[in-house]
Structure 1
Amino acid sequence: MSATATTSRYDRGLALLQEVSGTPVPGVLSSLADIAPDLARYTIEFGYGDIYHRPGLTIRQRQLINIAALTALGTAAPQLRFHIDGALNVGVTHREIVETIIHMLVYAGLPAALNGLTVARQAFADRPDPEQAGLGDPAQSRIRPTETSEERYQRGLAALKEIDGHAGEQVVAALEHIAPDLGRYTVEFCFGDIYSRSGLTLKERELASVAACTALGTAAPQLRVHLHGLLNVGGSREEAVETITQLAGYAGFPAALNGITAAREVFTERDADPRTAGR
């Protein structure tokens, strides 16, 4: 690669990193200068000059995807804090960040979501937003305490059909003879409670789900379901591929390559079905 091409990657990466970090001298440069300056350069050139600079996703979407993946992984609190701050810098709201983290409890469990919210609380304390007042006020809760289990189930079933269609129904049906309660919890809680919350669009929730399932690296069947779901709620194949490609920088190349294998299978299935061919 020529020196000019390398400089171009670095310069455009640095410009994007400055936008996300909100500082002319991003911390990655100073923190690695004494031990691994090349790693800082790779972060700028590859992470931002190559990946972030690609079309297909907005910078807001990329930040929500990072928050989802890093929350799900549960092993990178400093980086999660950086990307929460970065999300705020590019116009993501406190509410959208909280909803993304809450969404992750479906895929990574309560500890991961609770730890993610601890990081978010620290970030918000340094960046209060008057428009988000009452975010944690019980009076503003989205929970419906008088709602019956059947009402939650029916709302969840409607959401499941809208998002995942036949693929989602197959997941629930597969549990009927071995763990029917788990199937019901999937509908009632995952879709009736979590997916039905406001604050994020269904497309944003599916982008977050694809990011989490890719990053975890242990959920290929669920990744395929949510790739279908993303496409069913208006996401594009390009957005699906871009989301998975971005995870190469945050979860590693094996996770991204396995995610692309799942995407290839989903696209092939949809092309073979007249109802979904080409979308």
Structure 2
Amino acid sequence: MKDDDIKKDYEIGVDSIKTRYLPKAMDLLKQIEDFSPDLADVIVRQGMHEIWQNKTPSLSMREKELMVLASIITDNTVQFEVALHTENCLLQGVSKAEIIEMLVLLTLYVGQPKILNCLDAVKQAFINYDHHQKK
């Protein structure tokens, strides 16, 4: 792949982040780029562009975000990601009621402690989203 193609694909990935995440995600991306351009490339060009857009065209962004959120809640190790992808679900048109129902359903499969552990992150994401909508 040519350097120009890599740069173009990276920019497409950045544009995807801008449209799918709250504005604070760009601050996080800058921190990742400053820390390691290679890590940023994996996340942005390969993740956001190649996988999210090119390799999964049959799934809507809404469906992808719901799947990712359920996976992150099931893993139950990164609360920051729970909040981030809860916000993304809301941005993609998933309602708060749907997210809450997903938590109820997941309780049967991953257990009450994991669901309770993620509640603060989900609640904070609801607050962040509401604040963003008021702007």
Query: Does 1:30 pair with 2:4?
Result: no
Q: In the superposition, relative to structure 1, how do residues 3 and 34 fare at CA in structure 2: closer, same or farther (>3 Å)?
A: closer
RMSD of the TM alignment (CA)? 2.0
- Counterpart Cα distance in 2 of 1:45 and 1:33: 12
SS at match of 2:35: coil
Q: Residue 87 of structure 1: CA displacement?
A: 1.3
In structure 1, the partner of 2:108 is 106
In structure 1, the partner of 2:68 is 66
Cα deviation 1:163-219 (Å, max 9, x = unaligned): xxxxxxxxxxxxxxxxxxxxxxxxxxxxxxxxxxxxxxxxxxxxxxxxxxxxxxxxx
Give every structure 1 segment of 4 or more consecutive aligned residues whose post-TM-superposition deviation is greater than 6 Å.
none
In structure 2, the partner of 1:14 is 14
More helix by share: 2
Aligned pairs (5 A) from 1:135-214: none
Aligned pairs (5 A) from 1:261-276: none
SS at match of 2:73: helix
Q: How many residues align?
A: 129
Q: In the superposition, relative to structure 1, how do residues 71 and 34 fare at CA in structure 2: closer, same or farther (>3 Å)?
A: same
Cα deviation 1:221-254 (Å, max 9, x = unaligned): xxxxxxxxxxxxxxxxxxxxxxxxxxxxxxxxxx
Which of 56, 76, 79 is 1:77 aligned to?
A: 79
Q: Residue 7 of structure 1: CA displacement?
A: 2.1
Which amino acid is 2:80 matched to?
Answer: P
Q: Residue 35 of structure 1: CA displacement?
A: 2.3
Which amino acid is 1:41 matched to?
Answer: D
Cα deviation 1:125-174 (Å, max 9, x = unaligned): 23349xxxxxxxxxxxxxxxxxxxxxxxxxxxxxxxxxxxxxxxxxxxxx
- Counterpart Cα distance in 2 of 1:29 and 1:126: 18
- Counterpart Cα distance in 2 of 1:81 and 1:53: 22
Q: In the superposition, relative to structure 1, how do residues 83 and 24 fare at CA in structure 2: closer, same or farther (>3 Å)?
A: closer
- Counterpart Cα distance in 2 of 1:4 and 1:121: 42
Cα deviation 1:99-136 (Å, max 9, x = unaligned): 2222222221111111222211111123349xxxxxxx
Does 83-92 or 99-108 show the bigger shift?
99-108
In structure 1, the partner of 2:52 is 52
- Counterpart Cα distance in 1 of 2:11 and 2:30: 17
Query: Does 1:124 pair with 2:126?
Result: yes
SS at match of 1:119: helix
- Counterpart Cα distance in 2 of 1:6 and 1:53: 15
- Larger relative contact order, structure 1 or 2 (CA cutoff 8 Å, min sep 6): 2
Cα deviation 1:24-70 (Å, max 9, x = unaligned): 86233222244223212210111110111030100000110011000
Which amino acid is 2:95 matched to?
Answer: T
Q: Residue 19 of structure 1: CA displacement?
A: 1.0
SS at match of 1:92: coil
C-alpha contact (below 8 Å) 1:12/1:53 kept by paired residues:
no
C-alpha contact (below 8 Å) 2:9/2:49 kept by paired residues:
yes
- Of all paired residues, the percent bearing the same amino acid is 26
SS at match of 1:127: helix
Which structure 2 segments of 5+ residues have no match?
A: none
Which structure 1 segments of 5+ residues have no match?
A: 130-279
- Counterpart Cα distance in 1 of 2:75 and 2:83: 14
